[in-house]
Amino acid sequence: MAAQYKFTFGPWNISTGSDPFGPPVRAEVPFASKIAEYKRLGFDGVQFHDDDVVPADLSWAETEKGAKAVKKVLDDEGLFCEFIAPRLWEDHRTIDGAYTSNDPAERKYALDRSKKAVDIAHIMGTKDIVLWLAREGTYIREAKCPVTASQRVLDAVNTLLDHDKTIRILGEMKPNEPTDSAYFPTVGHFLALCYRTMDPARTGVLIESAHSILAGIDPSEDMANALWHNKLWSVHLNDQNGLKYDQDKTFGSVDLRRAFNQVWVLERANYQGCIGLDIKAMRSTKSEHQTAHLSNSLLLFKRLVEVARSVDTAKVEAFRTSRNYEGLELYIINRLMGI
């Protein structure tokens, strides 16, 4: 079952539980122990920020040595690296944005660091670079010129595409948090940017369920549209309880029907990318249960695949032909309830 899917998550998904209002509640798990968990939990690959591989701002010689060592750890575990994402939101030089900072020296730092992330990706054996544009936005409209900012994001993507002609750039869009107002807030905004880059064939998207929900869009709608563009290259499946902070809850834990819609769309469009998760354990989680949100999400995804595959397509066609969508709705919900 579901043999064609490859499952991934990032090491930050095993976390200490600290939040803006309180300190860690679980001990930090050493990197090597996290990596050792992947296969046991049923995962095939690892998503990385650049500084999950090696600390940022080391010399290139030290970076290369460190990245090669991490690649060997992955090889020894039989894991692959899905992507590298430059973490452009923690450094003091990215306080006012990275590619869209008003300060040219800070924009240069962001570009140099991103190019280095591409070089790290090369060592890690992946061609995919994920850009979550965390601080490319503002808290007040007048702080930056939003039109100039759009151009700066395009220029940054082109710089990376030019830096290495083999990589792909995947935009991971989110409308808010940490900024109040993000540039390129939705998947659709980034898809439009893809076609203005120097190489549209190497630009696409990673869609996170919670980010689409925060933008008021059903994630399956975003996914279906990106699939039509042939630009859905990865996903961050999770769930979200309304328009709050980005919750990154267990996939399917809030709205099972909404989760099923995503699986249905991916299944029926023969999606070829990885099934990535981006999920946080509840802060109240004890250390002995600190990977349950990952294994539970995987289990729920696989069960929903089973449900999607159990749907009788002839019945669906008959409901469509007779325009009996109430009947189709009950049929799908009954499948979800095992009836």
Question: Which two structure tokens, joined as six digits, stand for 121?
Answer: 């990706």
Residue with tokens 């990385």: 48
Q: Which helix (H) or strand (E) holds 130?
A: strand 128-132
Among 26, 77, 87, 28, which Cα is nearest to 54's? 87
Among 155, 137, 50, which Cα is nearest to 97's? 137
Long-range (24+ apart) CB contacts under 8 A made by 166-169 are: 166/127, 167/118, 167/121, 167/127, 167/128, 167/129, 167/202, 168/127, 168/128, 168/129, 168/202, 168/203, 168/204, 168/233, 169/129, 169/131, 169/197, 169/202, 169/203, 169/204
**CB of 328 within 8 A of CB of 319?**
yes
List 128, 136, 222, 246, residue binding ligand XUL (CB under 6 A): 246
Answer with the entry of ligand XUL, Mn ion, none that 213 interacts with (C-beta below 5 to 8 A by kind).
Answer: none
Q: If binding means CB under 5 A, how many residues of this protein chain bind Mn ion? A: 3
Catalytic residue numbers, as ranges: 49, 52
Q: Which of positions 107-136 make contact with ligand XUL (CB under 6 A)?
A: 132
Name which of 8 and 150 has its Cβ closer to ligand XUL.
Answer: 8
Rank residues 171 and 252 by Cβ distance to ligand XUL and give the closer one: 171
Paired residues of 3 in beta bridges: none
- Taking the C-alpha atoms of residue 168 and residue 163, their distance in angstroms, rounded to an integer, is 11
List the single partner that 168 binds among ligand XUL, Mn ion, none, CB under 5 to 8 Å by kind: none
Tell me which of 46, 54, 67, 85 binds ligand XUL, using CB under 6 A: 85
14 binds, among ligand XUL, Mn ion, none (CB under 5 to 8 A by kind): none
Beta-bridge partners for 170? 130, 204
Residues 246-285 that bind Mn ion (CB under 5 A): 278
Range list of H helices, 139-287: 146-163, 187-194, 209-214, 219-228, 256-268
Closer CB to ligand XUL, residue 138 or residue 240? 240
Q: Which is nearer to Mn ion, 63 or 238 (CB)?
A: 238
Report the residue from 135, 144, 202, 236 that binds ligand XUL according to the rule CB under 6 A: 236
What does 246 interact with, of ligand XUL, Mn ion, none (CB < 5 to 8 A by kind)?
Answer: ligand XUL
Per DSSP bridges, beta strands 232-237 and 274-277 are: parallel
CA-CA distance, 8 to 126, in Å (whole number)? 13
Indicate which single residue of 174, 202, 293, 303 sits in contact with ligand XUL (rule: CB under 6 A): 174
Residues numbered 201-220 forming contacts with Mn ion, rule: CB under 5 A: 208
Nearer to ligand XUL, 88 or 308 (CB): 88
Which listed option, Mn ion, ligand XUL, none, makes contact with residue 251 (CB within 5 to 8 Å by class)?
A: none
- Shortest gap between Cβ of 192 and ligand XUL (angstroms)? 21
Using CB under 6 A, count the residues that bind ligand XUL.
Answer: 9
**Smallest separation, CB 144 to ligand XUL (Å):** 21
Given a contact cutoff of 8 angstroms between Cβ atoms, the answer to whether 230 and 269 are in contact is no
Site string for ligand XUL, 271-290 (x = CB under 6 A): -------x------------
In the complex with ligand XUL, which residue's Cβ is closer, 99 or 132?
A: 132
User: Do 177 and 246 contact (CB within 8 A), yes or no?
Assistant: yes
Cβ count within 10 A of residue 90: 12
- Asked if 79 and 39 touch (Cβ cutoff 8 Å), the reply is yes
Pick one of 236, 280, 293, 303: the residue that binds Mn ion (CB under 5 A): 236
106 binds, among Mn ion, ligand XUL, none (CB under 5 to 8 A by kind): none
Contacts with Mn ion by CB under 5 A lie at: 208, 236, 278
Contacts with ligand XUL by CB under 6 A lie at: 49, 85, 132, 172, 174, 208, 236, 246, 278
